[in-house]
Structure 1
Amino acid sequence: MKSLWGGFTAGLLALMLGTGAFGSAAKADDALAKVKAAGELKVGTETQFAPFDFIDAGDHVGLNVDVFNEIGKELGVKIVWEDLPWESVLPGLDAGKFDIVAGPATITKARMEHYRFTVPIADATCAILKAAGDKSIQKPEDIAGKAVGAGKASSQMDQLKAYAATLKNVDIREYVDNSTAYADLAAGRIAGVANSLPNIAYVAQQRPDTFAVVEPPFGQKSYFGYVGRKDDDHKSLMDAIDQALVKMKHDGRLAALEKKWFGLVFDTPDTVPTPNF
């Protein structure tokens, strides 16, 4: 009788694991299955990071908007955006407020310990934006003795601090958003803003009478990627997003969007490289 009962319970357990209650629960926990069931992908970002994410005439626009629209088409879901200050975006992802962070964020060793990044979508090497006509800054090391700003809790701030430590008397200012930093630079309250080369190149292109890029970039070669959770439940979702991005690279859609927003196309790998820092 005991062996018959044991065989019955073993068979029942196998059925539940394969197609019954346990199997359904496991499937329900899968992030990709949840996204597709809901018909929407929730994306957290900060809309103060032109040309990736910004507000123009009341509309949310930028490279990220266009890229995620294409990702939504590939996954068959609608994109739902949530705008937060940058220092709140990654904690929001940790808390499960959204499925992925657009940002994008610089791929670093420290971040990769906690998050999973998508394949790179743009160059992220850090450089300095200065006031147009400021002849006192001809190269990055000329920021010595000057006030320079960068985004609070950003990789660019970390790189600026590390670089400033090799110079003398750099007055580092932290900003909640880049728009405020650019406004202070235009007003002469600071001498430069450290940000990724794509961002400051876009700003200088939009306002050539006000801003100029200091070349070459001072930061180590780095890349931007979108940020997702690293747990097993989110692997299928991140895999699907990676597949969509690689497909967009190979069919030319990503290059066309980069050209639209930056005026150039980035040479980025199809896999996440080992970060330099």
Structure 2
Amino acid sequence: MKKWIERLLLGVILASLVLLPHKADAAGKTTITVATDSDTAPFTYKSNNKFKGYDIDVVKAIFKDSKQYKLKFQTIPFDSILTGLDAGKYQMAANDFNYNEERAEKYLFSNPISKSNYAVTSAKGQSFKRLEDLSGKSTEVLSGSNYAQVLENWNSANPDKKAIDINYVSGTTGITTRLQHIENGKIDFILYDAISSAYIVDDQGLDLKVSQIEEEIGGETDGLEYLLFPKDEEGEKLQQYVNKRLAELKKDGTLAKLSKKYFGGDYVSDL
């Protein structure tokens, strides 16, 4: 009986340790694990096995010299980032996330950290400036992404027109690979943000054209980028801390400096 009780107590102790989200270290700092796919340059990518990009450097600046938190970045396939937040594996997500109502029901958003615009990348000689120009054309998207939702919404709202041919791919099919699929004729276009599209086409030497969408999509949140948190008490505290630091980083010019470094221009001062 005594051994049975000891085993029971040990099991309860171990279970309680597993259920703890993450404990402070010896210095009293809580580890914040930030999930990113490391495949969305210039927002997030890896160079010489080091995390790089605008989002990465913004997050580093937010937590620089923090007495409360320390950072850990983890590369995760895009379509697993949000499920990881749900499971409590990560406390933040940094991956050029846009706003949508479905996402807002489950997650908390930081204040915006950049503002771009939607753009369509296609073969040279073609120009798509409105969503209706994409009618009957084929593309590849990550399921659950903001770009997928924009195209799905257009199809639903325009049943009398030829639907956009949406092919869903996994997070392992990165944006560079999808853009290459335009070059080899597998698909017609990719809808993505203007900053990333222009950067990757230039960086990879792709013979493609990037056209910015000239109509408003998604209302006042169109083109805005955010950091994400779980919708719980811990996420709320982290959201407050991050937003306070973002205001400071905008005021002291850090955000504008990082924007010019990675985007080639100031995409933050008008936020």
Larger radius of gyration: 1
- In structure 2, the partner of 1:21 is none
Q: Match of 1:103?
A: 95
* Aligned residue in 1 for 2:180: 183
Partner of 2:53: 62
Matched letter for residue 180 of structure 1: T
Structure 1 residues 215, 64: closer, same or farther in 2, change over 3 A? closer
Question: Does structure 2 conserve the Cα–Cα contact (< 8 Å) formed by 1:146 and 1:191?
Answer: yes
Contact 1:123 1:268 in 2 (8 A): no
- In 2, are the aligned partners of 1:105 and 1:224 still within 8 Å (CA)? yes
Distance 1:178 1:138 in 2: 19
Deviates more, 1:241-250 or 1:198-207: 198-207
Aligned residue number for residue 72 of structure 1: 63
- Which residue of 198, 203, 206 corresponds with 1:201? 198
Q: Name 1:242's counterpart in structure 2.
A: 243
Once the 2 structures are TM-superposed, how far is the Cα of residue 91 of structure 1 from its aligned partner? 0.9
- Whole-angstrom distance in 1 between the partners of 2:199 and 2:263: 6
**Partners of 2:165 and 2:135 in 1: CA distance:** 8
Query: Is the CA contact 2:120–2:128 (under 8 Å) kept in the aligned structure 1?
Result: no
Tell me the distance in 1 between the aligned counterparts of 2:208 and 2:32: 36
- Work out the CA distance in 2 between the residues paired with 1:232 and 1:82: 22
Counterparts of 1:113-132 in structure 2, within 5 Å, are 113-123=105-115, 125-131=117-123
**Distance change >3 Å, CA 230–CA 255, structure 1 → 2:** same
Distance 2:92 2:270 in 1: 20
Report deviation, 1:99: 1.2
Instruction: Calculate percent identity across the aligned residue pairs.
Output: 25
Asked if the contact 2:193/2:223 (under 8 Å) is kept, the reply is no
**What is the TM-score of this pair, normalised by structure 2?**
0.78
- With over 3 angstroms needed to count, the CA separation of the structure-2 counterparts of 1:213 and 1:114, relative to structure 1, is same
Distance in structure 2 (CA, Å) of the matches to 1:158 and 1:266: 24
1:37 maps to what in 2? 28
Whether the aligned pair in 1 keeps the contact of 2:256 and 2:269 (CA below 8 Å) is no
Residue by residue over 1:35-85, the C-alpha shift from the partner in whole angstroms, topping out at 9 and shown as x without a partner, is 883453211111111111112344321112211211221524432111111
Q: Are 1:173 and 2:164 counterparts?
A: no
- Which residue among 138, 141, 152 is the counterpart of 1:147? 138
Tell whether 2:85 aligns with 1:84: no
Distance in 2 (alpha carbons) for counterparts of 1:170 and 1:39: 46
Counterparts of 2:198 and 2:214 in 1: how far apart (Å)?
A: 11
Higher helix share: 1
**Alpha-carbon deviation of 1:201?**
2.6
- CA 134–258 in structure 1, closer or farther in 2 if over 3 Å, else same: same
Decide whether aligned partners of structure 1 residues 113 and 169 sit closer, same or farther in structure 2, where only a CA change above 3 A counts: closer
Task: Say how many residue pairs are matched.
Answer: 239
Larger deviation: 95-104 or 69-78?
69-78
2:231 alignment counterpart: 230
Tell me which residue corresponds to 1:25: none
Q: What residue number does 1:94 align with?
A: 86
Query: Unaligned regions of 5+ residues in structure 2, if any?
Result: 1-19
Q: CA deviation at 1:138?
A: 4.3
CA distance in 2, matches of 1:78, 1:232: 19
